[in-house]
Structure 1
Amino acid sequence: MAAASSSSRLVPFLSPPPPTPPAKPPSGAFLPLRRTTAAAAAAARFRCAAASGQTGFFTRLGRLIKEKAKSDVEKLFSGFSKTRENLAVVDELLLYWNLADTDRVLDELEEALLVSDFGPKISIKIVDSLRDDILAGKLKSGSEIKVAASKLRSPELISAKFQFGRSRTYYYGICYHNWDALKRCVLELLTNKGSKTELQLGFRKPAVIMVVGVNGGGKTTSLGKLAHRLKKEGVKVLLAAGDTFRAAASEQLEIWAERTGSEIVVAEGEKAKAPSVLSQAVKRGKEQGYDVVLCDTSGRLHTNYSLMEELVSCKKAVAKVIPGAPNEILLVLDGTTGLNMLQQAREFNDVVGVTGFILTKLDGSARGGCVVSVVDELGIPVKFVGVGEGVDDLQPFDAEAFVNAIFP
């Protein structure tokens, strides 16, 4: 093992404690999906690729993580429950509307979207799209749905046609085009500008991911959870404790290193600078055959320009070791701030060039619509969303699963 430099040291990981068996879910809860044979085979192929270092390693990694996101859809569904409650009124609006009430219904729909922080611009886009579909005769009105219901042979479905619990199949069958129009519009807003939701890690090892953000947004925790997800897929991860300002930051990241079975490079001495720590970590990652180096940085307000410039120095220090690095610069945004996150995102992007977002704390917020706003406004994809406090609750972002999770 290489000798520790004067500004950083390598801390070997301790063997993590044996995993505790998962708690039995409460009655009525979503049951976790079993890993399919195909998914297990994909993981095995990935691990073989990791061992051999063959070309396409990171491409397969990104795809595998994305595939597993779809199998974890129940976590996403549960995490966006508060946003879904806010949008529950959409159920009735799409089912009961009539041509004479079109303007009123669309106004109520716009209000529901605004309450969930879709923002004025996005809300108007969605409402205008639905208005165009109504004028084109693509949506079924309440009276048309009743006529269709009267033609059904099943008395049970007819009597339960407006009781969403027992007649979900019926409801979707009759109102499919209404729901399809709404969801398609939101999905297009997410995918037209932010389509590259998979990690873009290039083709050389180690890939370098730098995580940035303001104080208290969940940056270090998100980095630790990302390390956990990568380690589960057999990736050799090195953590870099580049937060040299916050006293407990290195200790917090060391705990994550122990939990995930990773090694970590931390600053030596009080005067160590973040660019030096990150540079040493990337050098070590390159020399010792790591797959991914995850670089933590100090939290900073986007209005503190001297600290923002330090991020530029960190980026340059990493690029001196590996040209083109970092492969990803992920900005952590606190979902509870809603649309207020947009200004943060603009400033960080202008200074350091953000490649993707990690949106945290969305499980405690009814502001899930901000996901659509931030992608449409900046054209930068969301890579991960935090939907809980558990170690597995940092979910790779899947636009279609997200749309299905926020609308009832």
Structure 2
Amino acid sequence: MDTIPYRQLRVVRPAKVELKTQDVHGLNRVPSKDVLELRESANMEAAVKRIARGFSEERKGGLSDDFLNGSNQFFSKYRRRMDRSWFYYAARQSEIFFYLRDQLKSAIVSGDPTSALERLIRLRDCDNEPEQVAHLVLLGKLQSLRDRNEAAETFAEALARDSEDLVGRFFVDSGARSYFSEPMVDMAELEEARSEVVGGFVEAGENRGVRSDASLLVAMDEKFFRVYGIQFYAMAQQLPHLDFDLVLCCSPEDAARLAEEGERLARSLAKFNLLPVPENVSTWSLATPAVVRDRRAFFASARFFAASELFAHRAQMYLADADLMFTKDPSAYMRSRKEKPVYSSDRSRGVSSLSPWRRYTAGSVIVNRSDGARRFLADVQQYVCAGFSLPQAWTVDQNALAYASSDRRISGQD
């Protein structure tokens, strides 16, 4: 897949409200020893997580010598004092990155993890379960560069040993939960589940018809629609030449109700800002299957199911996260991206690319009507269906992009 530069996108999130504990009659002024220890532990855990995030983000540290030397000194200094599972987990990560820095850089550039895997085997044995889990997670990341099925087995072993949910605690590694082997994704029952989901895609409101063969496609549940919906009606006013497809992840009845509320909002917005009522917004319903356990993960993936059905109306769609707002008209850029079936956000090039669930960002993807795009979307959909039974499947959409973009999946496509 070709890429979309991030500079055209900006994340818009609701403001956070910070609540502070009230000091009643001075009772909070003299914390007990236990409270002090808890505060120290909490502060230390926050610091450890910040360092661990640096092992997955170039701008927060990555494989720079300064960052790796500093993190190694930090964990060496506090190793005897901090008998905590999360500390051991991050300390093992730091140790691996410190001693394998050159091999990891080589694996990132070449895509060949052989030298890194050979050196990883020669590291000291793990002392405890948290270190074993951290070791296996990084081993799986390296294996994913050459063999999906081998990596999936390693991630499964890491999760089986992770009795304290350290993978979930360190969010940057949580994608290991939704990393599946090819046999898992290719099961026949998942094809049936995929067909059932797309079969539930219906029109939600009295749409005014297709005005353009290109659209911006966003999927939201009711909560996100109420938070972010207004920005899409406002953008639709500013971009009358581009259609907007809003997919509501709820029952057709609820979607129809929300579509009606959206129409009232659009009319009120036009009255307020003295611009025309947007005529280029269409609303659709995609019900959440009953078998889905992590509904948030489905909401984040729903646009990939809707896109294949909307090819009946659209020649090109820009699939975007609901919390992304354009800072300039994307139409010219979309017109320049019609040669290939699929274009994605910038592919990770640095240390982030070690994690398969961070190699491609699902927040902005362009699909052009073609057999190649239909096959790509079918692969993404089937992969997402494999995660329906997981209680926590966040990043399954990004894992699905890595799966559908692999050389084996796209060979022979346009």
Common fold by TM > 0.5: no
Higher relative contact order (CA 8 A, sep 6+): 1
Q: Report the TM range for the smaller structure's normalisation.
A: under 0.3
TM-score using structure 2 length: 0.27
